[in-house]
Amino acid sequence: MLGLSVDRLRADMNRLLALLFHQGVLDEQFLQLQQLQDESSPNFVSEVVNIYFHESEKLLRNLRGLLVDKEFSDYKKMGVHLNQFMGSSSSIGAQRVRNVCVAFRAATEQNNRPGCMRALELLEYEYCYLKNKLHELFQIEQQRILAAAVRYPVVQQQLQQHPNNA
């Protein structure tokens, strides 16, 4: 069963990726990241993504802290945070998150406080969604690696008999 599941797992992963692409959550840059993963850096993508999560959570905390403050007026600082967030999101291909950042930045440029609040909530939502999906992706990946490590010669034949109907 484990042998079969390699293909099924790969299919699941592809399906998830396709879905994420379709939804616009991820873009081509993520594929590029995956290309960079090779024998010398087998965990490249997950390392990058983990750093991204770390950074993003810090940025989101800062943003929320700034906005919640009653005497808030430092839109510029928010803009700085947002630029960082945008940069890192582009680097890993988190397209939807980046787009929300763009809208958020526009709101800060207009000093539009309620707009910023709305954008922040949307940002947090998108970020959570992305994080969940990426975690899911990595889980499947892990399982696939584990499953691939188990070698059954019979796996090949079974593969041929059961074409992928994902």
Partner 1 sequence: MEFCNCIEPPWPADELLMKYQYISDFFIALAYFSIPLELIYFVKKSAVFPYRWVLVQFGAFIVLCGATHLINLWTFTLHTRTVAIVMTTSKILTAVVSCATALMLVHIIPDLLSVKTRELFLKNKAAELDKEMGLIRTQEETGRHVRMLTHEIRSTLDRHTILKTTLVELGRTLGLEECALWMPTRTGLELQLSYTLRHQNPVEFTVPIQLPVINQVFNTSRAVTISPNSPVARLRPAGKYMPGDVVAVRVPLLHLSNFQIHDWPELSTKRFALMVLVLPSDSARQWHVHELELVEVVADQVAVALSHAAILEESMRARDLLMEQNVALDRARREAETAVRARNDFLAVMNHEMRTPMHAIIALSSLLQETELMPEQRLMVETILKSSNLLATLINDVLDLSRLEDGSLQLEIGNFSLHSLFKEALNLIKPIASVKKLYVTLSMSPDLPEYAVGDEKRLLQVLLNVVGNAVKFTKEGGISISAFVAKSDSVRDPQAPDFFPIPSDNHFYLRVEVKDTGAGINPQDIPKLFMKFVQSQPLAAKNSGGSGLGLAICKRFVNLMEGHIWIESEGLGRGTKAIFIVKLGIVGRSNESKLPFLHKSPGNTGKPNFAGLKVIVMDDNSVGRMVTKGLLTHLGFDVLAVASGDECVRVVTHEHKVVFLDVNIPGFDSFEVAVRIREKFSKRPERPIIIALTGNTDRMTKESCLRVGMDGVLLKPVSVDKMRSVLSDLLEHGYLVESQ
CB of 135 to partner 1, least distance (A): 17
CB of 120 to partner 1, least distance (A): 20
CB of 68 to partner 1, least distance (A): 24
Rounded-to-integer distance, Cα 9 and Cα 14, Å:
9
**Residue ranges in contact with partner 1 by CB under 8 A:** 18, 21, 27-29, 31-33, 35-36, 38, 40-41, 44, 47-48, 51-52, 55, 79-80, 83-84, 87-88, 90-93, 163-164
Q: Nearer to partner 1 by C-beta: 1 or 40?
A: 40
149 Cβ neighbours under 8 A, 6+ residues apart: none
Burial class (CB in 10 A: 0-12, 13-18, 19+), 52: buried
Q: Nearer to partner 1 by C-beta: 90 or 112?
A: 90
Q: Nearer to partner 1 by C-beta: 24 or 65?
A: 24
Rounded-to-integer distance, Cα 21 and Cα 30, Å:
10
Q: Nearer to partner 1 by C-beta: 118 or 131?
A: 131
* 8 A C-beta contact, residue 5 and residue 152: no
**Tokens standing for residue 15:** 């399906």
Question: Which residue shows structure tokens 């034949």?
Answer: 157
